[in-house]
Homo-oligomer: A and B are copies of this chain.
Amino acid sequence: MWARGYLPITIWESLEGKRESMIQCNPETERFKEQMRNSLQRETQNARAINIAKHDNIYTAGQAVESVYFIESGKIKLVMLSSAGKECMLAIHAAGDIFGELCLSGLAGRRETASAMEDTVLKRLPCTRFLERLARDQLLEGFIKYLAVRIADQQEVIANLVTVDSEQRLGKTLLQLARKLGKKDPRSIRIELRISHEELASMVGTTRSRISVFMQRFRNLNLIEISEEHHLIIKETKLTAYLASIA
């Protein structure tokens, strides 16, 4: 497909960083994501990069839908608001991910708000061009597989919200985040991005005070740790074992 040399070196750096940081994932999906990254980089290499400052929004719920975004560097969170104003954090995306792909659904407007958790560099791509590019590069089937994995993951999240208690859900959420965002650490997996208890609460579906108590408990049980740099260390095997034991 595309030789490595074709891509701007800055991009390759971030992708290398991304690959190194992947702890555990469906290898087939990872392969597709890499192909997709290459394909999109080809498509957007002449496009202007978009710089988003920490805390700024990329789009908000209700806005008209037109584009898919590709993250060159930074972290983006997707948040949905209930009519009463309560927040639900759906996902955190990092360098090499795409988001906003639900514009492909043909639905009228964005349902969620995307905002930057740190300074972020994006490329934007109208969704028709996105699809054309995938089609040209023979990636439609790979993209279908990618979406199917997304649906399976969401199904699991739904089942967890319905069937298990909040301590268990917090544990599983931490494991997910570790696998998605974490880097290898001598102590297990390290998450450098700071995620507040409030944000965790809005992913797990409970209150901040409750998250605070559980995190404290996990820390006492030595399932997680806060490094001096304030990075969150998740001890994957221990935490997994603990969750199984209280199930």
Which residues in A have some Cβ–Cβ distance to B below 8 Å? 26, 28-29, 80-84, 86-88, 90, 101-102, 104-107, 111-112, 131, 135, 140-141, 143-145, 147-152, 154-164, 202-205, 244, 247
Contacts and interface: CB of A to CB of B under 8 A. Distances in A.
Contacts of A80: 155-156, 158-159, 163
Given A83-B247, A84-B164, A90 B144 contact: no
Given A111-B152, A151-B154, A154-B155, A28 B106 contact: yes
Contact of A135 (B26, B141, B152, B164): B141
A187 to B, nearest CB: 27
Contact of A90 (B29, B86, B159, B164): B159
Contact of A247 (B84, B88, B104, B204): B84
Query: Which of the listed residues A83, A152, A164 has the most CB atoms from chain B within 10 Å of its own CB?
Result: A152
Given A144-B140, A161-B205, A247-B83, A152 B107 contact: yes
